[in-house]
């Protein structure tokens, strides 16, 4: 849910300026080899998935434009990720709120119990 497929600008700043770097930050820098590998992975057979995202955000230093408060919609809704998804669901929830949003829970339940 609300996956930053394009990474996050804050990780680039952290990698370039922080005295202590969390190793996963390297993977989350926009354009990293890890993130690039995700988009090329869609060329191979993948297990079916549904794409859930939240769009209730505000403005922040690193989230200009439409976002969920932390991740931009542009990063969450990469075209290849949408095309590969069985279905795309958007919710009026922010980045952490999507995890406990009643409509998300209901939709996830329906998806998991369907015969598709």
Average pLDDT, stretch 96-104?
Answer: 93
**Mean pLDDT score, 66-94:** 88
Domain residue ranges of the chain, discontinuous segments joined by +: 9-113
| Cβ 73 vs Cβ 82: under 8 Å | no
Structure confidence at residue 107 (pLDDT)? 96
Sign of CA dihedral 13, 100, 88, 35: positive
Instruction: Say whether pLDDT at 50 is over 90.
Output: yes
Question: Mean of the per-residue pLDDT values for the chain?
Answer: 85
């Amino acid at each position: 849910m609300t996956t930053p497929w394009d990474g996050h600008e804050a990780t680039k700043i952290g990698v370039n300026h922080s005295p202590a770097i969390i190793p996963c930050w390297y993977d989350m820098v926009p354009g990293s080899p890890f993130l690039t590998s995700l988009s090329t992975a869609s060329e191979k057979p993948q297990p079916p998935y549904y794409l859930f995202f939240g769009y209730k955000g505000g403005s922040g230093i690193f989230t200009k434009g439409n976002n969920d408060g932390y991740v931009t919609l542009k990063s969450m809704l990469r075209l290849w990720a949408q095309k590969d998804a069985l279905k795309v669901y958007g919710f009026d929830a922010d980045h952490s709120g999507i995890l406990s949003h009643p409509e998300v829970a209901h939709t996830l339940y329906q998806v998991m119990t369907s015969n598709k």
